[in-house]
Amino acid sequence: MPPRILISAGEPSGDLHAAHLVRALRDRVPEAEFFGFGGEALAREGVELLFRYEDLSVVGIQEALSTVPRFYGMVRTLLREARRRQARLAILVDYPGFHLQFARHLKRIGVRVVDYIAPQVWAWGFWRIHLVRKHFDAVMVILPFEETLFRRYGVPAHYVGHPLLEEIPAHPERLALPEGSPVFAFLPGSRTQEIRRHLPRMVALHRVLARRFPDAVFVYSLLDGRKSPLLEGLPGRIVTVEGQAQRCIQSADYVVVASGTASLEAGLLERPATVMYMLSELTWHLARRLSRVRHASLVNLLLDETVYPEYIQRWPVEKVAREIEARLQPDRRAEIVAKLRKLRSLLDPSRKASQEAAARIQELLQQPPPGPAYPFAPFPEIA
């Protein structure tokens, strides 16, 4: 019987990383069959998607409460299918708020579980490292310091390199935009909740920047590419695209981006940027108490300095606009770019994350199934 693998990715960046991993695994284990939870990138790789993430992506504690019934139903179905199909392995990609609990249920029914892109326990919620150790058979980490940290606490961690390094082409395509005009790219996030919180604030900045740069072009990367009603009547030339974060960043003179994968993409593409993030008040108060790091952006964390200004839970528009104007001056811009050029070497560009992770996973597939961790199923519906 061909090995059947459950794969789960809960947002666009994880979906893309997962798709590259599936492709690498098919090279090694061509007979493998994949099913699970994800988006368009996994679908293009031929994965049978039982659920798509578009309707479920949330961030934060308060935001997640409204989706609990849907998550419960999805987990129940995925577990039932994993048992029915006799899945040999589950690969859970990033998205720790969901996957830490999902891994526990998979272990209970005897499925070996791999975490591809570990939770950032070093940033907040360090107690989660004990859940990682308990519920995962292998953890593929993507930052150089993470392997030592996780192994110190008994987690079978393997550093495989950062997937963005193989996903960003040497010469990314640009959007077809007017020559000679300053270009500002706005990337409000990949989740509906993020866009709802960030886009109005980005629009406010747009209005101020348009006064300072009358001939500017403003590019918005949105979930479906349709122009939001918030963008109607704004000054300047406006371009909206569906996703295409790398093309937007590559085309821009300056990027305003929600903290996350896209901010690291901006750094690797050597574009000056400002990072923002807004949460519900409940999530923000909890995050402040649990945070263990000085920076929100991975760019600043890796470089250990504030190369990208960060605005978390506040957005002083006039100040941000003045700051952007100053950072676009040739000398300041050259200084920023010189610092960003260090990022690739810090992430070890010689490694191919999907290939190294696939090699580790192939080894796990060659081992006998572990058997149920507990003598009962977590949901009566799958017993």
Q: Amino acid letter at 194?
A: E
Torsion over CA of 335, 337, 324 and 306, rounded to 10 degrees? -80
> Among 59, 282, 318, 63, which Cα is nearest to 201's?
318
Q: What is the DSSP letter of 378?
A: S
The whole-angstrom distance between residue 234's C-alpha and the CA centroid of its chain comes to: 30
Residue carrying the six token digits 């029914």: 109
Chain segment 65-121, per-residue pLDDT in tens: 445 667 788 899 999 999 999 999 999 999 998 999 999 999 999 999 999 999 999
| Domain 183-346 part of CATH 3.40.50.2000 | yes
Which comes out higher in pLDDT, residue 171 or 326? 326
Q: Are 202 and 188 in contact (CB under 8 A)?
A: yes
Q: Do domains 4-161+351-382 and 183-346 have the same CATH topology?
A: yes
Chain segment 207-247, per-residue pLDDT in tens: 999 999 999 999 999 977 566 889 989 999 999 998 789 99
Average pLDDT over residues 48-56: 85
Q: Strand order of the sheet with strand 48-52?
A: 48-52, 33-38, 4-9, 89-93, 112-116, 138-141, 157-159
Copy the structure tokens of residue 292. 């263990």
Q: Are 8 and 342 in contact (CB under 8 A)?
A: no
CB-facing half-sphere around the CA of 313: CA atoms within 13 A: 11
Least confident of 8-22, 47-61, 167-181: 47-61
Least confident of 339-343, 345-349, 369-373: 369-373
Cα separation, 192 vs 58, whole angstroms:
7
Q: Say what the pLDDT of residue 372 is.
A: 66
Chain segment 249-290, per-residue pLDDT in tens: 999 999 999 988 899 999 999 999 999 998 766 665 566 665
Residue carrying the six token digits 């996903």: 167
> Phi, psi (5° rounding) for residue 258?
-70, 140
pLDDT of 192 above 90:
no
Helices (H) and strands (E) in the chain, counts: 17, 13
Q: Residue ranges per domain, the chain?
A: 4-161+351-382, 183-346
What is the percent of the chain where pLDDT is above 70? 88
Bridge partners of 185? 219, 255
Average pLDDT over residues 371-382: 53
pLDDT of 166 above 80:
yes
Q: Say what the pLDDT of residue 187 is.
A: 96
At residue 109's C-alpha, the angle toward residues 104 and 111, to 5°, is 80
Average pLDDT value for the chain: 89
> Phi, psi (5° rounding) for residue 210?
-65, -30
Cα separation, 113 vs 141, whole angstroms:
14
What is the percent of the chain where pLDDT is above 90? 72
pLDDT of 366 above 80:
yes
The SS3 of residue 339 is helix
User: What Cα–Cα distance (Å) separates residue 241 from each residue in 54, 100, 171, 184?
Assistant: 17, 33, 19, 13
Chain segment 308-321, per-residue pLDDT in tens: 999 998 999 999 99
Q: What is the DSSP letter of 55?
A: G
Cα separation, 319 vs 209, whole angstroms:
11
Q: What is the DSSP letter of 306?
A: -
Residue carrying the six token digits 């994993």: 82
State which CATH number among 3.40.50.2000, 3.40.50.800, 3.30.1330.10, 3.40.50.300 fits the domain covering 4-161+351-382.
3.40.50.2000
Q: Say what the pLDDT of residue 63 is.
A: 46
Copy the structure tokens of residue 59. 């961030």
